[in-house]
Amino acid sequence: MKRSVKLLAGVAAVALSAMVSMSAQAETLRFATTLPEADNPETHAMKAFEQYVEFHTNGDIDVQLLHGGVGGDREILESVRNGIFQMTATTDGALASFYPGVQVFSMPYLFRSTRHAVEFMNNAPVMDDFVADVEKEAGLRIVGFAADGFRNFVNNKHPIKTPADVEGLKLRSMESPVMIALMKSLGAAPTPIPFPESAMAIRQGVVDGGENPPSTVINGGWAEVIKYMSLDEHIFSAVFAYANPAFLDGLSEQNRAAVLDGVNLYTTIMLAGKGQGYLSDTQKISDMGVEVYVNSPDEKKAFGEKAQKPVREFLSEELGAVYVDGFLAAVSDTEAKLYGE
């Protein structure tokens, strides 16, 4: 009996030692974001990624989610490049400091729908070159695509139904050359104002309005100080999921597959959550007393015809006409395949 007890104790000790050893050897994957942990698609998607990867690697990878307080998007991307963090996900604009070519995504009225954008990002051959070039030039590997939603005009003067309705409006703008070029092309006066100060600027009449996705209109306090929102959907805000190349390549084939499958789960949840959120947030804005106007396809076409040429010229000067023309042609090819036009 004593021998059996000793044997069992020995087996338990060996098993415990093995578990400790496995735990000590676990790879740490730090997934960082600027956003606080909250009831939002980003948080839900990150938690699902964490659970999926840890389960499917049998604990070989310890996923640590870092919500806010670790720097802005640019700082986080720099940390992923340097291996301090292993993953992040940001909107496309954050990449511009490391890879200026991403600015082509800011072409106004580029995508007809989220479906169009996601199909293009995942399946257009030109995106294979884009992803490879980003890794080569910026040291970041794009491993997944999602969406933050479309940006729309809001203001306190009148509904924006045609390009003429934008003329003369003083609109808060990001400090983005592309956004400034877009607003100027429509006859507006772009006024760069830091986002935390923007709601007060609209309330005080410093500017007549601005542009943002519905979620930001609510979270930034704009819905309380504007009268009109027009769903013109002038710019699609893409989300790229990034990984540190050395970290990903250093994983076993099985664990690397688990991480990439986890990214697919992340992007699926993000797309569903953001899609539903776009609708529910728009309804909330309407319920708060804002007059919401849904622009028709023909109206959007009129906006595009006026805004695209000057922005295209600006981007061609910055990035090269061959690059811009090839990218836009590929977007048109994807649209034709989806919609048969």
Q: Is the per-residue pLDDT at 66 higher than 80?
A: yes
Closest CA to 158 of 208, 199, 94, 193: 208
Q: What is the DSSP letter of 226?
A: -
pLDDT at position 219 is: 84
Beta-carbon contacts of residue 187 (< 8 Å; ≥ 6 apart) = 163, 164, 166, 167, 168
Which whole number is the average pLDDT over 167-177?
91
Please report which confidence band the pLDDT of residue 99 belongs to, taking 50, 70 and 90 as the band edges: very high
Q: Are 156 and 209 in contact (CB under 8 A)?
A: yes
Say which range, 16-30, 57-71, 80-94, 227-241, has the weakest mean pLDDT.
16-30
Query: pLDDT, tens digit, for every residue of 124-143?
Result: 999 999 999 999 999 999 99
Closest CA to 42 of 83, 91, 1: 91
Share of the chain above pLDDT 70, in %: 93
Which whole number is the average pLDDT over 235-243?
96
Query: pLDDT, tens digit, for every residue of 79-98?
Result: 999 999 999 999 998 999 99
pLDDT at position 220 is: 87
